[in-house]
Chain A
Amino acid sequence: MIRFEDVSFHYPHTQASIEGLSFHIAKGEFVALIGANGAGKSTISRLCNGLLRPSAGRVLLDGEDTSQTPTSRLARKVGFLFQNPDRQICENTVREEIAFSMKAQGWDEQAIAGRVEEILAAFDLAGDWFPFERSRGERQRIALAGALACEPQLLILDEPTTGLDYRECIRIMDYVTALNRDKGVTVLMVSHDMELVQDYARRVLVLEGGKLLGDGDVKRVMKDEALLRSARVLPAQIPALALRLGEGFEDVYTIAEMAGAIQKRRAEASR
């Protein structure tokens, strides 16, 4: 789906940049990008849809070089959810807002009308709401609905849950998961929240100072304390607890697994 080939990027006047980065994300994957502030996470997400162009190396989207293709064209394949929904929303009603990207990408009127109603229902949104008056969580949901209306093949989420409460966060992540599972949409998510990463992602890319420090299965990364420490990332609580408890807890990642393992050990001890 997307391939980074020895990609470097430098912002003018600042030191934040990425350096010689190579990785490949296959179709249907759910990948989280983690790292401390300034590690290069947002830069990578913007390189994927051509909002930024590499200073060196190539970013290939389905084999197409992103620096040769305008972002507006790439947008047909790549949906992007920004941290701040307010930069995305520019129409007076939710209905028009959701139709906006489809119009921009040249869908025909009839297809748009049908799709809009479908999306409104799926996201539990009212078509005649005035988007600017809704809460932050609702605005983020509207932005996501707009991004997903065009059926992107790759969905990029740049810290999608900042400023959202847990319920809204779960709601948005559940939509994304369903899309990933049922329609094979590839997801690349930037996040600080390791619990969120553990619950939803299957593969994790660990970044530090613009370099790829680790890349692997979410379970392996969650338990690699040394890796997380060198990336200045705090591990999720349950895997960290499992590590502290040592033997017998190697396969424990979730709360339920942890409770089960503890109870099992308790039963064994009392026997």
Chain B
Amino acid sequence: MISIDNVTFRYQNQRGDEAALKNVSLTVEDGEFLGVIGTSGAGKTTLALAMCGVVPHEFKGDFYGAVLVDGEDTVEHAPSHFARKVGEVFQDIDSQMVASVVEDEILFGMENFGLPHEEIGARLDRVLREMGIEALRERSIASLSGGQKQKVAIAATLALEPRILVLDEPTGELDPESSREIFALLRRLCEEKGITVVIVEQKIKLLCEYAKRLIVLERGEMRFDGAPREVIAHVDTFKSLGINIPPVAELSAILREGGAYAGDVALTLPEAERMAREAMA
């Protein structure tokens, strides 16, 4: 469980004096699938980094409030203390690599953890398979495309079997189909193994489909927190914030306004079809 209690954070050397996070409070229960959305500069990345203590340990600044990971304060412990519990995939995919070859990149964390030899081998094979990158095993990381690197980074984190996974735009360079596969895998891990997933994303269509809970940040403040369907229902607010929502959700808002439809906001294509047929009946 991650509990974020009234956290305010202002980066050192940041232009202006606006805080990156302002009085954010949030509890992420075990086994949740939480999506974080917001415009750029809203504090999404800062929030993700605060969940494993990289903020404020590696990025200095004024930190108020507390972040507790399973009851342990991230200010009191170094980020490495949480390494076994929290796995984090960063936004900048190139710079989180520590090895030159795919296999070594995935081995790195497991070797550090001192896992038994057979266990390492088994997990290596498993994550390569899960991410569909068996063929890349011996490839040099420099020769991979951005999307392939993203899969490697996720695999390297999954191999450590963290209880909490924090991913900052993990599918930014992936095409929609591969992105969907990764979301589906994360959802499966969340449901089958009870892993907590926190994911920062611009791809709101996918979040609507896979996340169980959405939060919306705007200029460091928490604007909405709830199930995707409830959150996305604030169509007008999203428009004024400049956040894109699924076109079918916008369609449901128009139909509701025109009195043609009274049900829940549609988030996916099948839901939209049902909505349209209902409206036309």
Given a CB threshold of 8 Å, the question of whether A touches B is answered with: yes
**Interface hits, B244-264 → A, CB 8 Å:** 244, 246-248, 250-251, 254-255, 258, 260
B205 on interface, CB distance cutoff 8 Å: yes
Q: How far is the CA of A83 from the CA of B92 in the complex (A)?
A: 13
Contact A166 to B175, CB < 8 A, known contacts A241-B276, A263-B258: no
B122 on interface, CB distance cutoff 8 Å: no
Question: CB distance B280 to A233 under 8 Å?
Answer: no
Question: CB distance B205 to A136 under 8 Å?
Answer: no
B176 on interface, CB distance cutoff 8 Å: yes
Of A162, A166, A244, which contacts B242 at CB under 8 A? A166
Q: Report how many A-B pairs have Cβ atoms within 8 Å.
A: 115
Of B143, B147, B173, which contacts A14 at CB under 8 A? B143
Nearest chain B residue, comparing its CB with the CB of A37: B147
Contact A266 to B279, CB < 8 A, known contacts A133-B15, A162-B173, A165-B243: yes
Question: CB distance B255 to A259 under 8 Å?
Answer: yes
Q: How far is the CA of A266 from the CA of B227 in the complex (A)?
A: 30
A255 on interface, CB distance cutoff 8 Å: yes
A155 on interface, CB distance cutoff 8 Å: no
Of A83, A170, A234, A244, which contacts B180 at CB under 8 A? A234
**Could you say which interface size class chain B belongs to?**
35 or more
Q: Which of A136, A162, A166 lies at the interface centre, i.e. has the most chain B CB atoms within 10 A of its CB?
A: A166
**Interface hits, B200-246 → A, CB 8 Å:** 202, 205, 241-244, 246
Q: How far is the CB of B266 from chain A (nearest CB, A)?
A: 9
Q: How far is the CB of A2 from chain B (nearest CB, A)?
A: 24
Question: CB distance A266 to B269 under 8 Å?
Answer: no
- Residues of chain A within 8 A (CB-CB) of B178 are 36-37
Render A166-194 as a binary contact track against B, CB cut-off 8 A, 1 for contact.
11111000000000000000000000101
Q: Identify 27 residue pairs between A and B in the complex whose beta-carbon atoms are under 8 Å apart, listed by A's number.
A: A14-B143, A35-B175, A36-B175, A36-B178, A37-B145, A37-B175, A83-B146, A135-B40, A137-B40, A163-B172, A165-B39, A166-B242, A170-B242, A192-B175, A232-B177, A233-B175, A237-B247, A237-B248, A241-B251, A245-B273, A258-B251, A258-B276, A259-B255, A262-B279, A263-B258, A263-B260, A266-B280
Residues on B facing A (Cβ under 8 Å):
15, 38-41, 91, 143, 145-148, 169, 172-178, 180, 202, 205, 241-244, 246-248, 250-251, 254-255, 258, 260, 269, 272-273, 276-277, 279-281
Q: A165-B38, A265-B280 are known contacts; what are 8 more A-B pairs with Cβ within 8 Å?
A: A37-B178, A166-B244, A192-B175, A192-B176, A234-B177, A241-B269, A258-B251, A259-B255
